[in-house]
Amino acid sequence: MPIRILPEEVASRIAAGEVIERPASVVKELVENSIDAGAGDIKVEIQEGGRRLIRVIDDGEGISADDVPVAFERYATSKLGAVEDLSHIATLGFRGEALSSIAAVSQVTVTTKARGEEVGTMLRLEGGRVVRHEPHGAAQGTVVTVENLFYNTPARLKFLRSEATEGRHVTELVTCYAMAFPRLRFGLLSDGRSTFQSKGSGDLYEVLMDVYGLETAEQMLRIRGDSTTQSAIAVHGFVSDPALHRSSGRYLITLVNGRWVRDRLISYAIREAYHTLLPRGRHPIAVVKVELPPDQVDVNVHPAKSEVRFRNSGEAFAAVQKAVRQTLSRKAPVPRASSSFGWERALEMRQRGLVEVGRSMRPTRGELALELHRTGDQAATATGAPPKGKLPMLRVLGQLGGTYVIAEGPTGMFLIDQHAAHERVLYERFQTERAEARVSSQRLLEPLVVQPGPGQAALMEERLVSLKEFGFEIEPFGGDTYLVRAVPAILQGTDLTQTILDIADEADNRDGVDSWQEMVTISLACHGAARAGQTLSVQQMRELVRQLEETELPRTCPHGRPTMLHVSAEQLQREFGRK
């Protein structure tokens, strides 16, 4: 084929794809325009996760009648005059690409009235072409309605995910902007139901409560920057107490000059500040606002403006890390389940003569789970059922650091990671029980109230039936609230809220229901298993080792990490120079 210039229509749809990927991208662009227009109240409405309809209503300064058609031209903007302006952008928009991109791939209607105008204007475009344009009565401000997104780009349409998932992305976006601009009132209406509303009081903490609920907000720590340092970079916001964490990294929100961005550097700085305070694979909840002079940061990096580049990235990194670190250390938190904690605590207890912790501590989850199947296992051994496992016979000698079981076998010494080993045991047991539809469920004396957060609720709803198979009984309780009436028995004594929120977080797993169920099984095993740092009695350790021997794959935990380390008799001889 010869080289030729693409027809305008094709070119504009390709360009639109850079900016508009899904309903949430439309909401992002429209909300940013409302904020730039000085709105105090922004209402977002979606139908069918935004695939059918997206509407953003603001009370901003409006668009004057003459400007309305211009606003939909490509590269039409009132926010940027000359190329120099690019180096200090103070508005969220600047490229003049959003409205034209949205119009190219949907049916858009805008009604708007600028300050001081008598009547407003209505303009409708379909696939980028104006089909109606007339004077129209309107309140001051702008209403943009986007219908049938991607109706003329089937390839894009195919890549959209379920209504619930697209809806969650929209919710995530609206709540992020509510946190970025606590002074503005944000409302979200999904299929006619109000799913989020912020008050616009100006207090970020109040928005946190609106987004995550009171219980979570109460465990958030306010970042207090160090006022003694002379830095052009200010860091504000909230980070979660290390005892509060999630399985998904989605709750780590970074806002740079009010812009929600995915910034690896800032996220890394936050994670670094937590260092060993969080268990492996867990993520904090954080809303970190970085403010710096506009000329210190380049926002013209990414088509959807979701990335920035700092002029001095080292300084930005250090400022964030320091602010978060100071916030965390001021609190002097005691992490719940990190392995270093286990080690020290175990030594301390030993020194205090509390070695037989089985008695001095209240019954723990490890004990309960191990107890449950004791009789069954004994019966199996008594009838001489051959052990399935590929482990040698092990004799338990003791526990190290409250974390590892020391055992000896015919070929030397074994160090067994008690958490990993127990995870393997519970994982396989759970799989079998589920396959045979006999998961033991435990009714709670009092139902537990969980609040998975606005966008997550719809996803959770889709999975409720499936969760029943796992021994959960969960029912909707109005709004985003759910009542948990029963849980799988292996979760007895664990932090149920945390587990359930983790499972809800993963509910839109990309790889479908099967892999979600696998993930739930792993998660339940993980939450139900004895923790590192939990002192076990000799009896419990023996039981654990025996159960591990019975498993199909005793040498790795369900995450693929090893459950044990072997030091052979030969190795020992070599180390001691006996050979």
Give the footprint of ligand ADP on this chain (CB under 6 A).
29, 33-34, 37, 58, 60-63, 71, 76-79, 93-99, 142
Report the partner that residue 394 touches, choosing among Mg ion, ligand ADP, none (CB closer than 5 to 8 A by kind): none
Sequence-ordered strand ranges (E) for 294-368: 297-298, 309-310
**Which residue of 93, 237, 452, 558 would you call a contact of Mg ion, by CB under 5 A?**
93
- Choose among 311, 314, 318: nearest CA to 297: 311
For residue 95, the minimal CB distance to ligand ADP (Å) is 5
Helix (H) or strand (E) holding 136: strand 129-136
For residue 43, the minimal CB distance to ligand ADP (Å) is 12
Report the partner that residue 95 touches, choosing among ligand ADP, Mg ion, none (CB closer than 5 to 8 A by kind): ligand ADP
User: What is the distance between the alpha carbons of residues 536 and 193, in angstroms, rounded to a whole number?
Assistant: 50
Output 21 or 163, the one with its CB closest to Mg ion: 21
Output 61 or 241, the one with its CB closest to ligand ADP: 61
Output 60 or 528, the one with its CB closest to ligand ADP: 60
For residue 34, the minimal CB distance to Mg ion (Å) is 9
Contact call for residues 31 and 177 (beta carbons, < 8 A): yes
For residue 61, the minimal CB distance to ligand ADP (Å) is 6
User: What is the distance between the alpha carbons of residues 290 and 231, in angstroms, rounded to a whole number?
Assistant: 12
**What is the side-by-side order of every strand in the sheet holding 404-409?**
395-400, 404-409, 412-417, 564-568
Facing residues of 234 across strands? Answer: 291
Q: Which residue has the tokens 């409006």?
A: 62
Report the partner that residue 79 touches, choosing among ligand ADP, Mg ion, none (CB closer than 5 to 8 A by kind): ligand ADP
For residue 311, the minimal CB distance to Mg ion (Å) is 24
Report the partner that residue 76 touches, choosing among Mg ion, ligand ADP, none (CB closer than 5 to 8 A by kind): ligand ADP
Report the partner that residue 368 touches, choosing among Mg ion, ligand ADP, none (CB closer than 5 to 8 A by kind): none
Report the partner that residue 216 touches, choosing among ligand ADP, Mg ion, none (CB closer than 5 to 8 A by kind): none
Output 60 or 213, the one with its CB closest to ligand ADP: 60
Output 100 or 551, the one with its CB closest to Mg ion: 100
33 binds Mg ion (CB under 5 A): yes
Apex CA 332: angle with CA 328 and CA 334, to 5°?
Answer: 105
Cβ neighbours of residue 358 closer than 8 Å, sequence gap 6 or more: 367, 535, 536, 537, 539, 540
User: What is the distance between the alpha carbons of residues 420 and 351, in angstroms, rounded to a whole number?
Assistant: 26
From residue 319, give the alpha-carbon distance in Å to each of 119, 180, 234.
50, 19, 8
For residue 94, the minimal CB distance to Mg ion (Å) is 8
Q: Segment contacting Mg ion (CB under 5 A): 3-11, 30-38, 386-394, 554-562?
A: 30-38
Q: What is the amino acid identity at position 47? A: Q
Q: Which residue is nearest to ligand ADP (CB)?
A: 93
Helix (H) or strand (E) holding 373: none
Greatest Cα pair distance, the chain, in angstroms, is: 99
User: What is the distance between the alpha carbons of residues 314 and 265, in angstroms, rounded to a whole number?
Assistant: 9
For residue 120, the minimal CB distance to ligand ADP (Å) is 12
Helix (H) or strand (E) holding 446: strand 441-450
Output 20 or 519, the one with its CB closest to Mg ion: 20
User: What is the distance between the alpha carbons of residues 148 and 165, in angstroms, rounded to a whole number?
Assistant: 17
**Which residue of 98, 319, 405, 490 would you call a contact of Mg ion, by CB under 5 A?**
98
User: What is the distance between the alpha carbons of residues 248 and 285, in angstroms, rounded to a whole number?
Assistant: 9
For residue 95, the minimal CB distance to Mg ion (Å) is 7
Number of helices (H), then strands (E), belonging to the chain: the values are 20, 22
Output 98 or 273, the one with its CB closest to Mg ion: 98
Facing residues of 428 across strands? Answer: none
Output 121 or 142, the one with its CB closest to ligand ADP: 142
For residue 106, the minimal CB distance to ligand ADP (Å) is 14
Q: Segment contacting Mg ion (CB under 5 A): 33-41, 178-186, 468-476, 490-498?
A: 33-41
Site of interaction with Mg ion (CB under 5 A): 33, 93, 98
